[in-house]
Amino acid sequence: MSGGGARIAVRVAEVTEVNALIRRIRFVRPDGGPMPAFSGGAHTVVEMDDHGTRRRNPYSLMGDPADTTGYSIAVRRDDAGRGGSLFLHRHVVPGMDMVISHPVNLFALDLRAKKHLMIAGGIGITPFLAQIAQLAALGGRFELHYATRNPALCAYGDELAARYGGRVHLYHDDAGQMIDLPALLAGQPLGTHLYVCGPKGMIRWVRSSAESAGWPRAAVHHEEFLAPPPGKVFDVTLAASGKTITVGTHQSLLEAIEAAGVDAPYLCRGGACGQCETDVLGCDGTIRHNDHWLTEAQKASGQKIMPCVSRFEGRSLVLDR
Amino acid sequence: MAGPDAFGEGIWAKKKPGAQTGAAGMTKTVFPPSIPSRPTYGVLAPRPGPAHLMIADGDGAGAVLDLVGAGDAGMAAGSHLIYLPGPDGTDRTAELAALGLARFHRAPSFAAALPRLRKVLGDAHMGVQIYLAGSEGLIGQAQREVMEAGLPHDAVQTEHRGTTVRRVQCVHCKGITENVATDPFTCGHCGLALFVRDHYSRRIAAFQGVNIDAEDPGLVPPPVEKFR
Amino acid sequence: MGLTFKDETFRGDFTFFNSPAAIRRFPFPFPEDSYMYSVNMEPHVPGRPGSVFEKTFDVDEHYVAEMRERARVLAEDPLRCQSLPHMTLAGWDLLELIMQAKAREYPDWFSLHRDGDRWHWINRPLEIEQRFTFLDETTLPCGPMEYITRQTQGDFSLQDQRNDNLWMDAGMVTTQADWSLDFDIGMNFFEWHAPVPLAHEKQIFTRALKFLMNVQHGVPARRFNWTMTIDPLLDTSPENYPKWGPSRATLTPENVGRRMHLRVELQTFFRLPRSNALAFPIRCYLIRFEELATQPKWARRLHRVIRDLPDELAAYKGFLRNKPIMVDYLAQFDDGTPTSPGWWAED
C-alpha cells in the first residue's frame, strides 16, 4: 500500500466562520456524486499545496456519517503552528479543488457499549459531533460533557444542547465551571465506555482519573493527534532508495522523505496509527521519539522510528526506506 | 482443522499440569504452554476501585484468602464474595466466612449462584474490581457473565487453583459436559468419543471436543486421565 | 454473459464438476514450486479479464447450485450464520458493498435502485426481488448479513476492530475448511487462528493483523489459502466431521484423480465504511485432480508442492494419511521440466 491509500478529489463547497478561532470547511465531489459513508470518529487527511510546500493534516469528520452529500471539518487556527491551519484559514475559498484521503477511523465507538460517556475539550468536540449523530440514528445511549474557555468559543454547544437536552453538559472555564470527574466516573453503569478528545492535559487527566477509579483500560478511548514538533535540522540516509535527505526545522521526517520523491506509507500523520513505522538500519546519535505507537522497549531499542512525528539528533541516521 | 491429528496441542499428552509447591501448600496452577486460544491465568492482586466482587470455587478459596490478605484494611468493607464448593467437593466455606467481608454468600452450585451474580452485576458501577478463582469451569462461566454485563474480558482478574477438570463442548451436538477428566471421553449428550482440544471459547466458556474416531469409526484409544 | 448456471450437487451423488472454461480460470494458488505460510497480501484490484480477479465478487457457473447448497446447510444447522448484536451495522455495510458491486459489474443479473433509503434489489439468477428500507432490519426477511450472503458465493466473516485487534464477531460459514463459526465467534485474530501450526512461531499472524488493521476503505486486499477435500464437499464443517471424516479412509490410487480436490480459498479484505469493521469474504473454489491435470504447469507444480510439504501442514490440512497416494498420482504428470513463475497456467 503506498502513501496514504485511496484519495478523493473534492471541491470546497462552503467556508463558515464558526467563531473567532474555528472555521468549518465543507467538501463535495465536483460531479455532485456521493462521498463514502464513514463511521463516527473517523478523520480525513487534507492535502494542501501551500505555495510549494506540501502539507497533509488530519482532521476529524464532524458531519452526520450517514450524510454522503459531503464532508465537513472544523479547523482551529493555530498561529504558532506549522502552517496547515493557517493555510486553511487564509487561502481556502469556496470553489477550490483539493484532495483528501478516504476516511480512516482511529477513534471508533465500541458498539458493544451499554452507554457512551464522552468528554470533549475545545476543538476536540469534532469527532463527537459525528459519533453523536451516528448514535442518535442507531438509538445508542450517550452523554456528552464538553468544556471550553467561554460561551463564544463553545462551538456547536447550543445546537447540541437544543437537540439532545439533558444528555449534553457544557462547562466554561472563564465561569469557573469544571467537570466533576470523580463523581461522573463513579456513577456509570457497568458496560459504559469512556471517550476523551481535547488538549493533551485533559486527555491525561481523564485517563489517569479513570485508571485510579478502577476503569479497565479497554473501556477508555482517546484520540490525540500530535503535530510534528519542530527541531534541529538533521540529515538522513534512505538506504532502500539510495538518497540522503535533509529534514528542516519545521518539516517532519515523513514530509522530507515525501519531498525527496520516496513513497512512504501513512494514515494519521500524528504518531497514532503505526502505518509509517520504519526500520532503523544505523543510528549514531539519539532518536527523539514523539509517537504514541512504539512501545517503550521498541523506543529504547533504537531499531524503529515513526517518521511522521519523530526526529533525530546526532551524527548519522540510516533508514530502510 | 479440528481433527485429532492437529498439531500444537499434543502437549497435553506429554505433560500434566501441576501446582507450584510453595510454603503455603496449594497455590496457583502452572499449565504447560499451549495455543493462543487457551486461557491463561494470573495471580489475584488488589486493584484500586470502589467495590470488589469475588467469585470462587473449591481451592480458589486460597486465592481469595491471599488476595484479601494483600489488600488494605478497607478492602473487606467493600467486598462481596460468592463461593461454591469445587468440582472435586473441596469446600472451604468456614475459612472464607471468617474473613469478615461486607457480603459473603455460599452457593451450592454455579447455577444456584447465577441469579444473585446477575443482580449484583446489574447493580454494579464502572470501577468495580472483579476477581475469579478456582476451577476453569467456574472462572469461565463467571467471566462470561461479567462480559455480558459489559466489562471487557481482560478487565477481570483470574487465578486457577485446584482441580484441572474441564468443561467441554461437543462440537457436533453442542452439548456441554462438565468436569471432564479423561481424554478421550464420551460426550454426555450424544455419546460420541471426543478428543479434548485446547481450543477454547470464552463465549461458550468451554473447551472444544471433537470426535476422535470420525475417520476410522470404532478406533477409539483408551481414555487417559489428563485432568484431575 | 454467455454463462449457464449449472444444476449440480455438493453432497450425495456429487455431480459437481468444472467446465473446461471454469478449469482455465481456476485460481491456482501456487506461484512457485514450494509452499510455506506467508502473509502474501496484494491489492484486490481488477485482474485479468475472465479471471476470478476480474470482479469484486466473482460470480461463476456454480453460483445457483452453491446458493441452494447454502440454504440446505442453514436449514440443517442455523448456527452456521451468526451475528453478535453490535455487528448489525457491519451487516448493512456488507449488504451495500455487495449489492453495489454486483449491480455495477453484472448488470444483466443484478440491479439495485436506490431512492434515498428505499432500495429495490433484483437478483435474476436466484429470482429474487426485494424492496426494503436501508438500515431497517424489519424490512428484510432476515438480518442484512444473512440476507446478502444467502445470495453470494463464499463464506463471510465480519471483524470488529477494537483494542488493537480484530474480533470475529459475525459470519456466514457453510463452505469452510473445518472450523466452527459457532465455537469461534467472538474470538480475536490470534485466538481464531490458534489451531494453525507453525504460523504463530513465524509471527505470521502478528504481521497479518497489522496489515489488516490498516486496510483502508477503498483499498481492498486479497490473498490465497488452500487445503484438500475428498469429493466436492463444500461443507467440511467440524460439526459434520463424523459424516464426512470416513471418506478420508476410502481414497485409493484408482479413485484419487476423480475424488481428491484442491480446495482454494480466495480471501479478500474490505474496510466497511459505516461500522469501521473489516469484511473478510472467504471464497472457496474446488477442482478435482483430474481436471487440474489438464493444465501441465499446474500438475507439475502441485506434485512438487505436495511432495515437499512439511508433515505438520499436511496433518493440519487433513491429508497426511493420503499424502503418498496423492504424490504418486501427481508424479505421473511431472517430467521434471521447470515451471514458469506465477499462477497462470498459460504463462
C162 in contact with chain B, both atoms CB, cutoff 8 A: no
CB contact under 8 A, A186 and B47: no
**So where are chain B's domains?**
11-16+164-225, 52-160
pLDDT of amino acid B7: 35
- Helix%, strand%, coil% for chain B, nearest 5: 25, 30, 50
CB contact under 8 A, C315 and B5: yes
Contacts of B1 in chain C (CB under 8 A): 177-179, 195-196, 238, 316, 318
pLDDT of amino acid A51: 87
CA distance A309 to B111: 54
Res. A224 pLDDT band, cuts 50 70 90: confident
A5 in contact with chain C, both atoms CB, cutoff 8 A: yes
CB contact under 8 A, B199 and C200: no
CB contact under 8 A, B125 and A191: no
CA distance C340 to A24: 57
Contacts of C276 in chain A (CB under 8 A): 39, 41-42, 105, 108
- For CA atoms B197, B201, B207, B210, the dihedral sign is negative
All cell numbers assigned to C171:
459470519
CA distance C95 to C143: 10
Beta carbons of B220 and B152 less than 8 angstroms apart: no
CA distance B133 to B140: 10
SS3 (DSSP) at B19 = strand
DSSP C281: E
SS3 (DSSP) at C261 = strand
DSSP B226: -
Strand-pairing partners, residue B57, are: B84
CB contact under 8 A, A102 and C43: no
Res. B26 pLDDT band, cuts 50 70 90: low
Q: What architecture does CATH give domain A234-319?
A: Roll (3.10)
pLDDT of B4 strictly over 90? no
Q: Which residues of C touch A (CB under 8 A)?
A: 43, 84-87, 89, 93, 135, 160-163, 210, 214, 216-219, 221, 273-276
| Most confident listed range (A2-11, A22-31, A296-305) | A22-31
How far is C-alpha B147 from the geometric centre of its chain's CA atoms? 15
Beta carbons of A177 and A201 less than 8 angstroms apart: no
CA distance A201 to B176: 51
Tell which of C104, C163, C274, C278 to mutate to test the A interface (max A CBs under 10 Å).
Answer: C274
Q: What are phi and psi of A143, to 5 degrees?
A: -150, 130
Task: List, in order, residues 6 or more apart from A165 with CB less than 8 Å away.
Answer: none
Tell me which chain A residue has its CA closest to the CA of residue B129. A214
pLDDT of amino acid B8: 37
Helices A157-164 and A125-138: crossing angle, nearest 10°? 20
Tell me which chain B residue has its CA closest to the CA of residue A184. B126
- Helix H, strand E, coil C: the string for chain A is CCCCCCEEEEEEEEEEECCCCEEEEEEECCCCCCCCCCCCCEEEEEEEEECCEEEEEEEECCCCCCCCCCEEEEEECCCCCCCHHHHHHHCCCCCCEEEEECCEECCCCCCCCCEEEEEEEHHHHHHHHHHHHHHHHHCCCEEEEEEECCHHHCCCHHHHHHHHHHHEEEEEHHHCCCCCHHHHHHCCECCEEEEEECCHHHHHHHHHHHHHCCCCHHHEEEECCCCCCCCCCEEEEECCCCEEEEECCCCCHHHHHHHCCCCCCCCCCCCCCCCCCEEEEEEEEEEECCCCCCCHHHHHHCCEECCCCCEEEEEEEEECC
The domain defined by B52-160 carries CATH number 3.40.50.80:
yes
Give the neighbours of chain B: at least 3 Cβ pairs within 8 Å: A, C
CA distance B52 to B194: 39
pLDDT of B19 strictly over 60? no
SS3 (DSSP) at B40 = coil
Under CATH, which number does the domain A7-105 receive? 2.40.30.10
**So where are chain A's domains?**
7-105, 115-223, 234-319
pLDDT of amino acid B73: 85
Tell which of C217, C272, C275 to mutate to test the A interface (max A CBs under 10 Å).
Answer: C217
Beta carbons of C208 and C190 less than 8 angstroms apart: no
DSSP B222: P
The domain defined by A115-223 carries CATH number 3.40.50.300:
no
Contacts of C315 in chain B (CB under 8 A): 3, 5-7
Out of C79, C185, C245, name the one closest to residue B214 (CB).
C245
Contacts of C196 in chain B (CB under 8 A): 1, 8
Beta carbons of C102 and C110 less than 8 angstroms apart: yes
Contacts of C320 in chain B (CB under 8 A): 5
Task: List, in order, residues 6 or more apart from C191 with CB less than 8 Å away.
Answer: B36, B37, C184
pLDDT digits over B117-176, tens only?
999 999 999 999 999 999 999 999 999 999 999 999 999 999 999 999 999 999 999 999
Contacts of A190 in chain B (CB under 8 A): 121-122, 124-126, 128, 149-151
- Following DSSP, what letter does each residue of B52-99 receive, concatenated? EEEEEETTHHHHHHHHHHHS-TTTGGGEEEEEE--TT----HHHHHTT
pLDDT of B14 strictly over 80? no
CA distance C188 to B111: 28
Helices B136-148 and B110-123: crossing angle, nearest 10°? 30
**So where are chain C's domains?**
20-85+144-331
CA distance C89 to B37: 27
pLDDT tens per residue across all 347 residues of chain C? 568 999 999 999 999 999 999 999 999 999 999 998 777 788 899 988 999 999 999 999 999 999 999 999 999 999 999 999 999 999 999 999 999 999 999 999 999 999 999 999 999 999 999 999 999 999 999 999 999 999 999 999 999 999 999 999 999 999 988 899 999 999 999 999 988 877 777 778 888 898 899 899 998 999 999 999 999 999 999 999 999 999 999 999 999 999 999 999 999 999 999 999 999 999 999 999 999 999 999 999 999 999 999 998 899 898 999 999 999 999 999 999 999 988 888 77
pLDDT of amino acid A228: 82
Q: Is the ipTM of this complex over 0.90?
A: yes
Judge residue A181's burial from the number of C-beta atoms within 10 Å of its C-beta, 0-12 exposed, 13-18 middle, 19 or more buried: middle
Q: Please, what is the Cα angle at A92 between A91 and A94, to 5 degrees?
A: 135
pLDDT of amino acid A296: 86
B129 in contact with chain A, both atoms CB, cutoff 8 A: yes
pLDDT of A274 strictly over 50? yes
CB contact under 8 A, C216 and A104: yes
Helices C323-331 and C296-308: crossing angle, nearest 10°? 140
All cell numbers assigned to A189:
453503569
Tell which of A39, A109, A194, A222 to mutate to test the C interface (max C CBs under 10 Å).
Answer: A39
Res. A3 pLDDT band, cuts 50 70 90: low
Out of B6, B36, B204, name the one closest to residue C183 (CB).
B204
Contacts of C179 in chain B (CB under 8 A): 1-2
Q: Which of A182, A4, A176 is nearest to A103 (CA)?
A: A4
CB contact under 8 A, A273 and C216: no
CB contact under 8 A, B2 and C200: no
pLDDT of B13 strictly over 50? no
pLDDT digits over C276-291, tens only?
999 999 999 999 999 9
Cα atoms in the 13 Å half-sphere on the side-chain side of A240? 13
Res. A227 pLDDT band, cuts 50 70 90: confident
pLDDT of A109 strictly over 70? yes
Beta carbons of B206 and B140 less than 8 angstroms apart: yes
Beta carbons of B226 and B34 less than 8 angstroms apart: no
Residue C230, amino acid: I
Contacts of B151 in chain C (CB under 8 A): none
Q: Please, what is the Cα angle at B95 between B94 and B100, to 5 degrees?
A: 95
Tell me which chain C residue has its CA closest to the CA of residue B8. C197
Average pLDDT over residues A189-213: 96
All cell numbers assigned to C252:
485409493
User: How many CB contacts within 8 angstroms connect chain B with chain C?
Assistant: 100
CA distance C344 to B141: 51
Tell which of B75, B126, B129, B143 to mutate to test the A interface (max A CBs under 10 Å).
Answer: B126
CB contact under 8 A, B128 and A190: yes
Contacts of A69 in chain C (CB under 8 A): none
pLDDT of amino acid A169: 98
pLDDT of B9 strictly over 60? no
Whether residue A94 has a cis bond before it, omega within 30° of 0 = no
Beta strands C278-288 and C260-271, pairing class: antiparallel
Task: List, in order, residues 6 or more apart from C146 with CB less than 8 Å away.
Answer: C81, C83, C91, C172
CA distances from C72 to B197, C10, C75, C149 (A): 29, 11, 5, 14
Tell me which chain C residue has its CA closest to the CA of residue A69. C116
All cell numbers assigned to B11:
502437549
Contacts of C273 in chain A (CB under 8 A): 36-39, 103
Length of chain A: 321
Active site (catalytic) residues of C: 223
A19 in contact with chain C, both atoms CB, cutoff 8 A: no
CA distance A162 to C201: 56
Q: Residue holding cell 490440512? A: C317
Distance from CA of C156 to the nearest CA of A (A): 20
Distance from CA of A146 to the nearest CA of B (A): 21
Distance from CA of B151 to the nearest CA of C (A): 13
CA distance B92 to A2: 62
